[in-house]
């Protein structure tokens, strides 16, 4: 991370918004009071779910020396007051509070000024869609690295270079954290950043489409309706990633129904990718064909408007071809040729917890995948079926306090594609695990093939123990995650570590 104490000047940043203060330097600028440390600036934003001004005292007690607080009236803009708070240690701490009108709308711009506009020093690639965001961003970063360009990712698995990811709270960080991360990347001489852009982030303005050099759309299916309420609102949030200007290139899945609709609406440079012949009708396209799957990966042909090449990848599943095509289109948009890209494709490894396969002699192959939506589970099961020589097993659950409508759908999908279904926990949160399992079962009609085993570790061990050597066991939902949330408790659990230990031992559990 950058040398924030000597480099950044909050007074200079505020002066861009007609606010003059004497305070000049600080450490981090953040809108999360829980992240405040001594010397930081805290931005108290009025959000959709909470009012950051309620946490001003908490931030000052934690060491914030300056608070920028959103105000309701423009005439209050720039007013400064002083507040003293007693810390946990009993020390009285004092901070200035600066009023800022419409801070929620201008927070990204303020943070960008504070960190010297790091987005201008980077090539920023945003990837949105229901599924495939993590894999696609990591494939893009891997291709860039293999083509000699320093790159980083921001998303579900963390932020940083692929071999050094640091955990972050949200898939798409808030404006202050995002600018802080990008300033660090600039110091590290990183040239390209591939970031996941969630529908929540787009709806809440955490990232501005105009800041993205390349905007990638993977697909759209049911998810997050607890937040967006309707598919129309969900789709509108996703579509807002496109700036509509010549300064951004759009990468769109031409096989997706929403993608096809959006191609008639956007007016900017674009690449269309897919596995159906219709993508070849567009001026700039990336088409995948002649697909051959084996237990070790996939061989297929990539065709563009100017070139054609046959490649082999160690990734599993047809949907990973889609992810690769999206990444290849992105590379073309960044100025690389297919000749540059093709040798790098064979070197791309699976992302953590994304169709990550484990095997050893005498045991079934296990695949750990993050699939936690109906569409993702169906894609993962179909992919595993393509690579499975025997019977297919699936172990999965559904998260609590989230969209309940998808549970029965996922139950129906699981029994449709797998011979053996084990229903287990997946972050039940405040809900009763038994009731979540019942919701899943309500979509099932072949209960004779279904086992309910709510202890996740036990469920994984049991499925692998009972599967034959030629079978394949899909462990869906946890992927890269390192814990399970049950009844307000965060319990340490890594599915990858559990499976790895079983296969290293080389014996059935």
Residue 477, annotated ligand binder? yes
Please check whether residue 276 is in contact with residue 255, taking contact to mean a CB–CB distance below 8 angstroms. yes
Residue 339, annotated ligand binder? no
Residue 134, annotated ligand binder? yes
Residue 83, annotated ligand binder? no
Residue 158, annotated ligand binder? no
Tokens of 482: 């390192």
3-state helix/strand/coil string of 174-221? CHHHHHHHHHHHHHCCCCEEEEECCHHHHHHCCCCHHHCCEEEECCCC
Please check whether residue 65 is in contact with residue 41, taking contact to mean a CB–CB distance below 8 angstroms. yes
Q: How far is CA 397 from CA 73, 238, 372, in A?
A: 48, 26, 8
Residue 457, annotated ligand binder? no
DSSP H stretches of helix in 270-404: 318-333, 338-345, 374-387
Residue 481, annotated ligand binder? yes
Closest CA to 60 of 27, 35, 85: 85
Residue 198, annotated ligand binder? yes
Residue 172, annotated ligand binder? yes
Residue 131, annotated ligand binder? yes
Indicate the DSSP class of residue 145.
Answer: H
Residue 199, annotated ligand binder? no
Residue 130, annotated ligand binder? yes
Indicate the DSSP class of residue 53.
Answer: G
Half-sphere exposure of 275 (CA within 13 A, CB side): 13
Residue 360, annotated ligand binder? no
Residue 206, annotated ligand binder? yes
Residue 33, annotated ligand binder? yes
Residue 289, annotated ligand binder? no
Residue 129, annotated ligand binder? yes
Residue 426, annotated ligand binder? yes
Residue 90, annotated ligand binder? no
**Interatomic CA distance for residues 101 and 104, integer angstroms:** 9
How many Å separate Cα 407 from the centre of its chain?
22
**Interatomic CA distance for residues 43 and 114, integer angstroms:** 13
Binding site for ATP: which residues? Answer: 129-135
- Residue numbering of the annotated binding site for meso-2,6-diaminopimelate: 402, 426-429, 477, 481
Q: Per the annotation, where are the binding residues?
A: 33, 129-135, 170-172, 198, 204, 206, 402, 426-429, 477, 481
């Amino acid at each position: 991370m950058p040398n924030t104490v000597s480099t950044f000047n909050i007074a200079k940043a505020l002066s861009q918004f007609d606010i003059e203060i004497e305070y000049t330097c600080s450490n981090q600028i953040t809108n999360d009071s829980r992240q405040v440390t001594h010397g930081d600036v805290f931005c108290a934003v009025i959000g959709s779910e909470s009012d950051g001004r309620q946490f001003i005292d908490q931030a000052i007690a934690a060491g914030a020396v300056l608070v920028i607080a959103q105000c309701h009236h423009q005439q209050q803009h720039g007013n400064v007051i002083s507040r003293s708070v007693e810390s946990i240690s009993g020390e009285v701490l004092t901070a200035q509070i600066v009023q800022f009108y419409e801070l929620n709308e201008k927070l990204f711009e303020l943070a960008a000024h504070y960190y010297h506009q790091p987005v201008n020093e980077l090539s920023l690639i945003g990837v949105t869609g229901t599924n495939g965001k993590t894999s696609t961003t990591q494939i893009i970063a891997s291709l860039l690295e293999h083509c000699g360009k320093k790159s980083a990712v921001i998303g579900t698995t963390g932020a940083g270079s692929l071999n050094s990811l640091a955990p972050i709270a949200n898939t798409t960080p808030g404006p202050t954290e995002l600018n802080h991360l990008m300033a660090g990347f600039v110091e590290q001489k990183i040239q390209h950043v591939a970031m996941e852009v969630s529908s929540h982030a787009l709806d809440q303005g955490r990232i501005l489409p105009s800041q993205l050099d390349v905007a990638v759309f993977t697909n759209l299916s049911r998810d997050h309706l607890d937040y967006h309420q309707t598919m129309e609102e969900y789709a509108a949030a996703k579509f807002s990633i496109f700036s509509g200007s010549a300064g951004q290139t759009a990468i769109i899945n031409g096989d997706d129904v929403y993608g096809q609709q959006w191609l008639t609406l956007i007016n900017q440079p674009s690449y269309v990718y897919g596995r159906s012949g219709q993508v070849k009708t567009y001026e700039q396209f990336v088409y995948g064909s002649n697909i051959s799957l084996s237990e070790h990966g996939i061989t297929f042909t990539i065709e563009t408007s100017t070139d054609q090449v046959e490649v082999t990848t160690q990734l599993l599943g047809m949907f990973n071809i889609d992810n690769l095509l999206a990444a290849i289109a992105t590379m073309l948009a960044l100025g690389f040729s297919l000749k540059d890209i093709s040798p790098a494709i064979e070197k791309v490894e699976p992302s953590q917890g994304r169709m990550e396969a484990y095997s050893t002699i005498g045991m079934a192959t296990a695949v750990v995948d993050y699939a936690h939506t109906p569409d993702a589970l169906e894609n993962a099961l179909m992919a595993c079926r393509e690579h499975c020589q025997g019977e297919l097993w699936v172990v999965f659950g559904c998260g609590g306090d989230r969209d309940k409508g998808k549970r029965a759908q996922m139950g129906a999908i699981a029994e449709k594609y797998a011979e053996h279904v084990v229903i287990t926990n997946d972050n039940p949160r405040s809900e009763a695990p038994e009731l979540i399992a019942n919701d899943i079962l309500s979509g099932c009609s072949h209960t004779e093939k279904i086992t309910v085993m709510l202890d996740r570790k036990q469920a994984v061990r049991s499925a692998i123990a009972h599967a034959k050597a030629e079978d394949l066991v899909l462990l869906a939902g946890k992927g890269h995650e390192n814990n399970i949330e049950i009844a307000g408790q965060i319990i340490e659990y890594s599915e990858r570590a559990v499976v790895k230990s079983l296969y290293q031992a080389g014996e059935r559990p």
